[in-house]
Structure 1
Amino acid sequence: MDSSVRNPQHMLFLVIGCLMVGQLGETIYLPAMPEMVIALECGTGDIQWILSAYLLGFGVCQFIYGPLSDFYGRRPIVLGSLGIYLIGSLLCVFTNHAKLLILGAFIAGAGIGSGGLMARTAMRDMFDGVALQRALALVGIAVVFTPMAAPVAGAYMLEQFGWRSNFVIFLIAGLAFMLLTYLKFEETNPYCREYPLSVMGSLRRYRTVITHPIFYGNMLCGMMNIAAIMSYELVAPFLFQKQMGFTPIAYAWFALIPVAGYLAGSACSGFLARFMSAENIAWVGNISVCLACVTLYIPIWINTYTLATILPQLILIMFGSGIIFSTTTAAALMPFRHESGIAGATIGGLQNIGAGALTGVMSLLEIETLTPLVHTLTISTIIGTLCFAAGCRGARRLPTPRPVVNKAMAA
């Protein structure tokens, strides 16, 4: 743990709060998407692209914020990027055109992407080993709980004030957290200016990080898992409201139920870390998600779409995801104490770019039904599991002991 931070636990929750602002922006408007199609006189795919654009902006700019935060420190980057987020939020609030709404979402995502970066880099600055994995378990809860809970607030805002009020929440949350960051955010990076800031130097450091087998195996596994979750969140409003007849509020409350699985998975990850390696814990998560995806074909085969035939599998997917997120993120970051900005940017950037690309393809196809969604979940999970297996094989060839074994961390 880094002693330069006076209160690491206080900073932990402040960083998680910054991340939650970004996660709020992903999904608070999801219950309003069918109504936005009518209000803006556009297609389903146009509205679905709002989420894709937000994720792409969120991911791409982390590759810029990473080296800058390693050189200048975490605090100034967070403050500056929150200003960008506010510009995008203002555009979303006042525009009446779907294309400008997509642009505003991209700008907002590009700004708040620093929150996703800090959730990894600041954690690595302050914590090591099992403590890092436990901190990232809390981050993982925020990553999934906030976008799952936000639609509940969004549904009530939609009912009372219309769809545009969801984007007003974007703006208010950004303003509030910018003030809180200015007053309370401590610098966590003790290695500022240790490396010269240059494009070629940053590219070499990115190459070092990305080609490390422990890193790429865990990072790609986490990326495909996040992409699968976001593909579900993209399709769910149309699946449950248009196909199954849910009201926006009923859909929003239903979306909260699978979060219980994620919370259980995060807790299970922390418990298993006491006596299992990170690699074996991640395998538990991958197998759980694979099993859930396979059993989701049952309601398709029997042509019966009800909560009883879909909900258990969604809970199991979230359970496995709760294990995967904290375990793979901690394992990927562990070898890079001095390059946590680069490593965190690569993880967050590629995870969100992958999710944005996948949801972008689904938006172009205007997917609204269960069958193509299940195909997407299954393929994403298989790819992620194969990438993890490849990383594990590469890690075994390393000449030094792997730093991802939690027994070694605890010792």
Structure 2
Amino acid sequence: MTTPTTEPAREGRFILLLGALVAFGPLAIDLYLPALPAIAAGLSASAEAVQSSITVFLAGFAVGMLFYGPISDRYGRRTVMLTGIALFALASLACLLSTAIEQLILARFVQALGGGAASVLARAVVRDVYAPSEAIRKLSLMATVTAIAPLLAPLLGSALLAGFGWRGTFAAVLAWGLLSLAVVWRLLPETLPAERRGELSLAAAFAAYGRLALDPVAIGLLLAGGMSFAAMFAYITASPFYFIALQKLSPTAYGALFAANALGIFAANYANSRLVKSRGAAAMAGVGCASGFTGALLLWVAIAGDALPAVIAGLFVVVSMTGLLGANCVGLLMARYPQNAGAAAALFGSSQFGFGMWASAAVSYTHDGSGRPMAWVIVATMTLSVLGYLLYRRAAR
């Protein structure tokens, strides 16, 4: 089809835009991570209550995606995406103005409902435009763009916290939402032509979830990619208090540490974009699962021995594999369901954030002032990721 990707320069801008849209979730979370202790103090809330704002955001993101995917399969991507981004911006303003932790938690849920549109539909747009093998390569390139968000967000969040307090982080998220709304309105065309959706009823679009839920290949891909994402969110939820409160790192040092992990995501996805055509998406996903599980075991041993450098190394490996697994697993899933690419991308994204929600909740619920809950949850999620990959390989044969 004719798209903005017909010239190399325009193709680069197109992928950059889509990668930035996928970054809605990471940006809305990572930007305010250094401010979590300050939010707890400013709203007179417990650490567990403030951590729950992450869990609630993940829940809203997961729920929102499930609606956006099939609706966009029926009515197109552009209008649905614009509606979701507008809701995200309005809820970001509510976060900025919150005066109690309950208000913040509710606003974060609504913010996530809106933000899910940009993240899931950017992936569906790639499947609209590219053939399956090329789509996986583009998804990896998008993931390298997306990695810039967690690379810069904690550092920017630390600077905003120092200059404007914790509300400054939400002001930046609001500005991001408004800018994204304007850019999508101006630059993103409709990529799903009417002739490819006119015969599909809304009920049929949602019925795709039933087929996906009964397909062992799909289940394996959802577990392989989603549980890796859950491991990252166990780290995201626990790490501010582990590194800042327990290990006595400054918010700036914590932001730099977080940025180093984002560099790992960037490097892994860049390598994947170069290797996936020759090695295959399934093989690269296997590399990601094996590496992530190895990093989880290293983290577990290091936490038990209170070896901070090894803790950092184990987390680096685990987090670096999330984007690589995500790009390959969602690409394989959308290739299997080309007529329901929006629903496939939505279910995959919802599973990622749904699993992330439970991992985040598990870390918060078992919080004991040490790093052990983080280590146990990450080992458990990466074990499930490996089992999911093995299920996929067996079912695909």
TM-score category of the 2 structures, normalised to the smaller one? over 0.9
- Does the CA-based 8 Å contact 1:140-1:322 persist in structure 2? yes
Deviation of residue 371 (structure 1)? Answer: 1.4
- Does the CA-based 8 Å contact 2:234-2:378 persist in structure 1? yes
Q: Could you tell me which residue of structure 2 aligns to residue 400 of structure 1? A: none
Q: Could you tell me which residue of structure 2 aligns to residue 339 of structure 1? A: 340
CA distance in 2, matches of 1:276, 1:374: 32
Q: Report which stretch shifted further, 207-216 or 243-252.
A: 207-216
CA distance in 2, matches of 1:377, 1:364: 15
CA distance in 1, matches of 2:59, 2:31: 17
Correspondent of 1:193 among 197, 203, 217: 197
Deviation of residue 4 (structure 1)? Answer: 4.8
Q: Considering only aligned residues, what root-mean-square deviation do their CA atoms show, in Å?
A: 1.9
Say if 2:17 is the partner of 1:14.
Answer: yes
Q: 1:17-52 CA distances to partner (integer Å, 9 max, x unpaired)? A: 222233211121110111111111111111011111
1:153-232 map, 5 Å: 153-190=156-193, 191-199=195-203, 201-232=204-235
CA distance in 1, matches of 2:111, 2:263: 29
- Does the CA-based 8 Å contact 1:258-1:318 persist in structure 2? yes
Correspondent of 1:34 among 30, 34, 37: 37
Q: Could you tell me which residue of structure 2 aligns to residue 350 of structure 1? A: 351
CA distance in 1, matches of 2:324, 2:21: 22
Q: Could you tell me which residue of structure 1 aligns to residue 104 of structure 2? A: 101
Partner of 1:236, secondary structure, is helix
Deviation of residue 336 (structure 1)? Answer: 1.9
Correspondent of 1:299 among 302, 318, 333: 302
Gaps of 5+ in 2: none
- Does the CA-based 8 Å contact 2:16-2:142 persist in structure 1? no
Q: Which protein has the bigger helix share?
A: 2
Say if 2:343 is the partner of 1:361.
Answer: no
Residue type at the aligned position of 2:197 = R
Deviation of residue 82 (structure 1)? Answer: 1.4
Partner of 2:339, secondary structure, is coil
1:89-128 map, 5 Å: 89-128=92-131
Say if 2:392 is the partner of 1:391.
Answer: yes
- Does the CA-based 8 Å contact 1:241-1:248 persist in structure 2? yes
> What is the count of residue pairs matched by the alignment?
392
Deviation of residue 368 (structure 1)? Answer: 4.9
Query: Structure 2-normalised TM-score?
Result: 0.93
- Does the CA-based 8 Å contact 2:161-2:168 persist in structure 1? yes
Identity %: 24
Deviation of residue 148 (structure 1)? Answer: 4.2
Q: Could you tell me which residue of structure 2 aligns to residue 404 of structure 1? A: none
Q: Could you tell me which residue of structure 1 aligns to residue 240 of structure 2? A: 237
Q: Cα distance 1:60–1:335, how it changes in 2: closer, same or farther (>3 A)?
A: same
CA distance in 2, matches of 1:351, 1:301: 28
Q: Report which stretch shifted further, 260-269 or 29-38.
A: 260-269
Deviation of residue 144 (structure 1)? Answer: 4.0
Residue type at the aligned position of 2:329 = T
Partner of 2:197, secondary structure, is coil
Deviation of residue 249 (structure 1)? Answer: 1.0
Partner of 2:338, secondary structure, is coil
CA distance in 2, matches of 1:370, 1:350: 25
Residue type at the aligned position of 2:261 = P
Q: Could you tell me which residue of structure 1 aligns to residue 376 of structure 2? A: 375
Deviation of residue 323 (structure 1)? Answer: 2.9
Q: Report which stretch shifted further, 221-230 or 266-275.
A: 266-275
Partner of 1:338, secondary structure, is helix
1:62-101 map, 5 Å: 62-101=65-104
Q: 1:212-258 CA distances to partner (integer Å, 9 max, x unpaired)? A: 33322112211101111011011111111001111111110111112
Partner of 2:363, secondary structure, is helix
Residue type at the aligned position of 1:328 = C
Residue type at the aligned position of 1:84 = L
CA distance in 2, matches of 1:164, 1:368: 26
Q: 1:252-298 CA distances to partner (integer Å, 9 max, x unpaired)? A: 01111122322232133233324323222211111111111112233
Deviation of residue 94 (structure 1)? Answer: 0.6
Q: Could you tell me which residue of structure 1 aligns to residue 283 of structure 2? A: 280
